[in-house]
A and B are shown apart, each in its own frame.
Chain A
Amino acid sequence: MSKITSLPEAIRQHVYTGDLVYASGFTHLIPFAAGHEIIRQGLKDLTLARATPDLIYDQMVAAGCARKLIFSYIGNPGVGSLHRIRAALESGQLEWEEYSHFGMISRLQAGASGLPFMPMNPSGAADLAERNPCYQQVTDPYSGRAVVVVPPLTPDIAIIHAQRADALGNAQIWGILGEQQLAAFASQRVILTVEEIVDETIIRADPNRTIIPGMVVDAVCHVPFCAHPSYTQGYYDRDNEFYLAWDKLSKTPQGAQEYLDAWVFGLPDRAAYWEKLGSETHRRLEAGEHFSQPVNYGAY
């Protein structure tokens, strides 16, 4: 049965006040349109988890959606600070729980695999583990050595952007894979946004590229350009100029609010957002072409 629905409807059906949300994507495929829709619908009291909160969570924190942040790197990648998150942490307005990247991703790996914890080798840097009780040490029963463990992360809802999927939610991703698959399997519910909805035959013609199977997906939303100002490999480029611009305009709460008024509350959806960006930006972000060779799966 088709799971295709609009993004506003998917957010209404699957995201609730107080949820633990994981909007995934490491620099690539960050579902900004979904973040904006959550802001528009006025959801509050969320726990926002992401290895790199990036601008999407800086905007959601600025909009007052978040009670708590779970993260492993709170920078504006390649630029500097995430000013709204940093101000909220420094003023004590936002709770937080912090990991290294591997600790964070290991939590998802445990959640996605149905395991009670994931082991990691020791890192020698004890300060974070002393402040975050989710880091524990156990003894390896085979060697007797110390092993660091973290518990599963099982978000209420994962939001995942992909290049393409069929109506059942079988999603294909290429380029940086990040933690997309783990977030999907670790979460109770999954909203998938895609650049293109394709026929099932397209998916079945290249099954190795399917990263997320429809069986874990609850809603499929056709949202072209969902990831801007991050990017979708082969569809559009990362908008580094916007990452620099956000650094300036988000320095004050007023600046961030003006942005949200103009680009989130003032617009109905992503199509309007993309149009507002204008043709010059569209041209600047064109991906160009660099095709892979087809492979022969064999006719068995």
Chain B
Amino acid sequence: MDELPYNAQELMVVNAARLLKDHDVVFVGVGIPNLACNLAMRTHAPNLQMIYEAGVIGAQPARLPLSIGDPTLVTGATAVCSMYDIFSLYLQRGNVDVGFLGGAQIDQFGNINATVIGDYDHPKVRLPGSGGSMEIAAWANRCYIITPHQKRRFPARVDFHTSAGFLTGGDARTKTGVRGGGPQAVVTNLGILQPDESGELVLAAIHPGVVFEEVQENTGWTLKQALNCQVTTPPTEMELQILREKLDPNRIYI
């Protein structure tokens, strides 16, 4: 990818930003999701509302936030509330359109493991755990996952369900009574996976210069390709300029 005028992080940020709609209320995480939201706000979604699990609503960070509770999120925000309120009044009540999720493993049905590799009681690798992701995955109207595309990150089944995608597929998710629509896209450095009717993640779009075999090699299950599989539009000069000059000038995340 070295010969391309953008790197893998930039490619993922730009493609994630394009999934956001104007007026979306987005539960934002730091790092790549934060960049995607700020990029969308400065391009096609000026009325995007960013809310943070720390209890900040309508944040307009003047600098790149380096933690989920960075003080720059508060200064100039429209509202601040307690942690209980952000999870109940905003998320559980159904006032969040989009949630961003990440994790060590994402499986065939969009379930995420951010808890443990190996046995829960005797962990081989102990990961940070749910934080807010269990409820974000359940209750946001749409969820997006941004992650590098590597085989170890895309097993057929996760070791632990930290947050629910479509579980075992079919109507398994809706039967649990969760209100949100589940993962709608997984944006990687190779393309975009989206759930088919059964909830199985299939290749819905591929980035320019990437071939299907490369995506398959880096995926832990037999990957299906959507009938109308697209090629993504490369990041534009304007998108890259905003990212590099305004949003992350010190290249911390990109």
Q: Measuring CB to CB, which residues of chain A are less than 8 angstroms from any residue of chain B?
A: 26-28, 51-52, 71-75, 77-78, 81, 86, 89-90, 92, 98-103, 105-106, 108-109, 120-128, 131, 145-146, 174-182, 231, 233, 237-238, 240, 243, 287, 290
Contacts and interface: CB of A to CB of B under 8 A. Distances in A.
A181 B128 CA distance: 25
Interface of B: 30-31, 53-56, 66-71, 73-76, 80-84, 87-88, 91-92, 111, 115, 120-126, 128-135, 137-139, 160-164, 167, 173, 176-179
Contacts of A27: 54, 67-70
Contacts of A240: 66-67
Contacts of A78: 30-31, 66-68
Contacts of A120: 92, 135
Residue among B56, B123, B125 with the highest chain A CB neighbour number at 10 A: B123
A124 B92 contact: no
A78 B15 CA distance: 22
A152 to B, nearest CB: 13
B130 A121 contact: no
A243 B82 CA distance: 24
Nearest to A120: B92
Contacts of B178: 121-124
B71 A238 contact: yes
B143 to A, nearest CB: 12
Find the residue from A51, A78, A108 having the highest chain B CB count within 10 A.
A78
Contacts of B130: 72-73, 98-101, 125, 128
Contacts, number: 174
A101 B91 CA distance: 12
Nearest to A85: B126
B120 A127 contact: yes
Instruction: Give the 5 A-B CB pairs with smallest separation, nearest first.
Output: A27-B69, A124-B164, A75-B128, A73-B131, A100-B134
Most buried by A among B74, B91, B122, B128: B128
Given A81-B128, A121-B92, A238-B69, 14 more contacts: A77-B67, A78-B31, A101-B87, A101-B131, A105-B83, A121-B139, A123-B135, A123-B163, A123-B164, A127-B115, A128-B130, A128-B162, A178-B83, A233-B71
B67 A124 contact: no
B84 A175 contact: no
22 contacts: A27-B68, A28-B54, A51-B83, A77-B67, A89-B123, A99-B130, A100-B132, A101-B87, A102-B135, A109-B84, A121-B92, A121-B179, A123-B135, A124-B176, A125-B138, A125-B161, A127-B160, A128-B115, A131-B121, A146-B177, A175-B80, A181-B82
Given A105-B84, A120-B92, A90 B126 contact: yes
B71 A125 contact: no
Contacts of B162: 125, 127-128
A28 B69 contact: yes
A26 B120 CA distance: 26
Contacts of A52: 131
B71 to A, nearest CB: 5
Contacts of B126: 74, 86, 89-90
A182 B84 contact: yes
A243 B67 contact: yes
B50 to A, nearest CB: 15
A30 to B, nearest CB: 9
Contacts of B125: 90
Contact of B138 (A71, A106, A122): A122
A72 B74 contact: no
Nearest to B121: A131
A127 B164 CA distance: 10
A51 B53 CA distance: 12
B55 A26 contact: yes
Nearest to B52: A176
Contacts of B161: 125-127
B129 A73 contact: yes
Given A51-B83, A75-B128, A126-B161, A178 B177 contact: no
B82 A101 contact: no
B177 A176 contact: no
Contacts of B173: 124
A231 B161 CA distance: 34
Nearest to A92: B122
B71 A28 contact: yes
B129 A98 contact: yes
Nearest to A123: B138
Contact of B132 (A101, A106, A109, A238): A101
Given A102-B92, A237-B71, A145 B177 contact: yes
